[in-house]
Structure 1
Amino acid sequence: MQPFDIQNRTRFIFGEGAISRLGDLSAQYRPACVMVVSDRGIMEAGHDAAAIASLKAAGLRVESFHDFAENPTSAMVDAGVRRAAHVKPDLLVGLGGGSSMDCCKGINFVYSCGGTIHDYHGVGKATCDLLPMIAIPTTSGTGSEAQSFALISDAETHAKMPCGDRRAAFQIAILDPVLTLTQPPKVTALTGIDALSHAIETYVTKRRNPMSIAYSRRAFGMLASGFPRVLADPTDLDARGQMQLGACLAGMAIETSMLGAAHAMANPLTARHSITHGQAVGMMLPSVIRMNGSLHPDWYGELMREIEPATGDDKAVERLATCVTGWLRQAGLATTLEELSIADTEIAALADDSLKQWTGTFNPVPLNIERSCDLYRSVARKPAV
């Protein structure tokens, strides 16, 4: 049995309307200034105003930073650090999707410890304690609220830099499913597929352990049940709650189990062709499941029995891969490179880039150039009928 050393560093608060508690929760840190990190879409949805109102009701001075976008870059982190240097916060709030929470962590690394975000690429690179942070996810995808990693892209090369340190964990995560009701359908689809990929990948990594298995398995059960429901009825608040908790549990699994080949294959698609992460990882996942299933059909059997108790190990791999493809289609997402206008001539370069991704090192079936090329070829185009 795989040994583990796990300490939950984040307090999780779940419930409808939980965002109203932000001010009181923040006040316990006695901050002179709170800086809210949220993108402009969150402002338009009104969540930024709700957070600020709660903070001000608690008598706190509030400043904001909004100048970043999806897949935050080193340049966006630099802009946030300049804003922090001006307003001098002693508490940060990451409000929004994974981009907001990752950008918040990235700003904290550099503002608290100096240098540039490149100095924190890797694990355990923080040189001092970071400011306390509170996460308020408004999507059900990355699970960043449960992780001590920030994923920041280099502004020049677009390479993704995982920056992890135990001191970069949020002190508090407020999970309010009401906030996820404002997601556009496309965001619901992309983040939902991302969360499902986390539950599935963490279940089979080389670092899987009894704790991560429990997180992954329960996350998959909640997400696989909730995802079709929120696609069919975006106002289903119970299903939204399932998705938010499932994404959080999958994030907890990532923290101790890491990810695998589907993420290693997805990152070059994002870097080279600006394919949204959820789209990229979802498209690659069925082929990765089939590859890993050649070694561990029993693991996928356990996972499938969370939603289909009668599924045997001999049927589980193909059944799970088919389920993922079905969810992609239900969500209106592409299942082939051809649909994304990516030519076969790109495969060699994509495969080479995939072997440089850290997540691939945790995959149960080791990646090499042949396997990587085969995985991309498997999704090049729909099979002839």
Structure 2
Amino acid sequence: MRVTLFDGVEENPTDRHVEAGTAMAKQAGIDILVGLGGGSAMDCAKGINFILTNGGRMADYKGHGKATKPMLPSIGIPTTAGTGSESQSYALITDESSHLKMACGDRKAAFRISILDPELTLSLPRSVSAITGIDAIAHALESYVCLKRNPVSQMAASTAWRMLEPNFDLVLDDPKNVEARSAMLVGAHFAGMAIENSMLGICHSCANPLTAHYGIAHGIAIGLMLPHVLRFNGQTIGNLYDELAQETRMHNGQPGYEAIAQRIEAMLHHAELPMRLRDRGVSQSILPILAEEANQQWTARFNPRPVTETDLLQVYQAAW
């Protein structure tokens, strides 16, 4: 087979990356796409599929089901245990003009085949294993409680949580542990399945503006916000967090949301990831702007506890 390599993908791909990949794909006359890499590579592959087969620009496909023509068959091969993009029909592409992440979804964009090979994750730097792992854990926790939760999504999310929580530390301490790597990879895949069948919440809504303004890697931004989101939501849907805490035996007489929040903080500490926004140079004066932008994010509408801009500002302040 004649193979054309497009490697012009960066973290948090934008419509510019998709356009560049589409131009190369057109020139090569490709008839199948393989998304090999982390979530950014796989999302960009989906984005290229949209534009190559249906024309226009990425903003035309914001939402779901906007592609009217058939799309090329594609294969997803993740090299990180993070986004679970290989199990979803959505591509998250940033609009360069507004810095807002666009969720562009269509059943036709989903990979026909996903290949999960834990050996591909053995060479990940410790920091990348940690960052992507925290992202996968947030996917499981948010999809389990979001407003669109349902028996199928909760089954996938709880399975993901049970696989990810005990193996996160193992992978950091023993990076060549193939069994732990496999559990993280499959756990991330199940967390992606949970998102595909439900949605996320304000942890992702709050993380995206941090990436847009400060270039903070997505998984780091997720880790900075997650414990505070758990405590915010726990006031309303604490019983659901109780269920997850019981599954991993971490109640210890505390509310489930607090036990899980403390576990996440322990993971961040073990991974040597920042735990306060100010540790990453985030100015306190920008928090109201971040809250305004977080409130505009699509995922905020599916948070189990209704939020206003004022609520989001309080969550940012708790994280600062």
Q: Which of 196, 204, 217 lines up with 1:276 in the alignment?
A: 217
Q: Does 1:137 align with 2:88?
A: no
- Partner of 1:163: helix, strand, or coil? strand
Deviations, residues 193-222 of structure 1 (Å, cap 9, x unaligned): 000000111110001100011000010010
Shift of 1:155: 2.1
- Partner of 1:327: helix, strand, or coil? helix
Q: Percent of aligned pairs with the same residue?
A: 48
- Partner of 1:182: helix, strand, or coil? coil
- Partner of 1:320: helix, strand, or coil? helix
Q: In structure 1, how many angstroms separate the alpha carbons of the residues matched to 2:25 and 2:125?
A: 30
Aligned-pair Cα RMSD in Å: 1.0
Amino acid at match of 1:199: A
CA contact (8 A) 2:242 2:251 kept: no
How many residues matched?
A: 320
Q: For residue 369 of structure 1, what is the aligned residue in structure 2?
A: 309
CA contact (8 A) 1:301 1:311 kept: no
Q: In structure 2, how many angstroms separate the alpha carbons of the residues matched to 1:66 and 1:245?
A: 25
- Partner of 1:294: helix, strand, or coil? helix
- Structure 1 unaligned segments of length 5 or more: list them: 1-59, 381-385
Q: In structure 2, how many angstroms separate the alpha carbons of the residues matched to 1:309 and 1:292?
A: 18
Q: Which of 238, 257, 275 lines up with 2:179 in the alignment?
A: 238
CA contact (8 A) 1:200 1:220 kept: yes
The 5 Å alignment of 1:343-354 reads 343-354=283-294
Q: For residue 269 of structure 2, what is the aligned residue in structure 1?
A: 329
Larger Rg: 1
Query: As a proportion of its length, which structure holds more helix?
Result: 2
Q: In structure 2, how many angstroms separate the alpha carbons of the residues matched to 1:198 and 1:173?
A: 19
Deviations, residues 151-192 of structure 1 (Å, cap 9, x unaligned): 001123321111011111100000000000011111101000
Q: For residue 259 of structure 2, what is the aligned residue in structure 1?
A: 319
Task: Name the stretch that deviates more: 243-252 or 153-162.
Answer: 153-162
Q: In structure 2, how many angstroms separate the alpha carbons of the residues matched to 1:292 and 1:131?
A: 40
Task: Name the stretch that deviates more: 148-157 or 192-201.
Answer: 148-157
Task: Give the ranges of 4+ consecutive aligned residues of structure 1 lying more than 6 Å apart after TM superposition.
Answer: none
- After TM superposition, the score normalised by the length of structure 1 is 0.82
Shift of 1:62: 1.3
Deviations, residues 83-131 of structure 1 (Å, cap 9, x unaligned): 0110011110000000110000000000000011111111111121110
Q: In structure 1, how many angstroms separate the alpha carbons of the residues matched to 2:215 and 2:78?
A: 23
The 5 Å alignment of 1:171-210 reads 171-210=112-151
Amino acid at match of 2:180: A
Q: Which of 169, 182, 186 lines up with 2:110 in the alignment?
A: 169
Q: In structure 2, how many angstroms separate the alpha carbons of the residues matched to 1:81 and 1:310?
A: 50
Deviations, residues 218-277 of structure 1 (Å, cap 9, x unaligned): 100100011010011111110000000000000000001110010001111011111111
Amino acid at match of 1:334: P
Q: For residue 282 of structure 2, what is the aligned residue in structure 1?
A: 342
Q: For residue 259 of structure 1, what is the aligned residue in structure 2?
A: 200
- After TM superposition, the score normalised by the length of structure 2 is 0.98
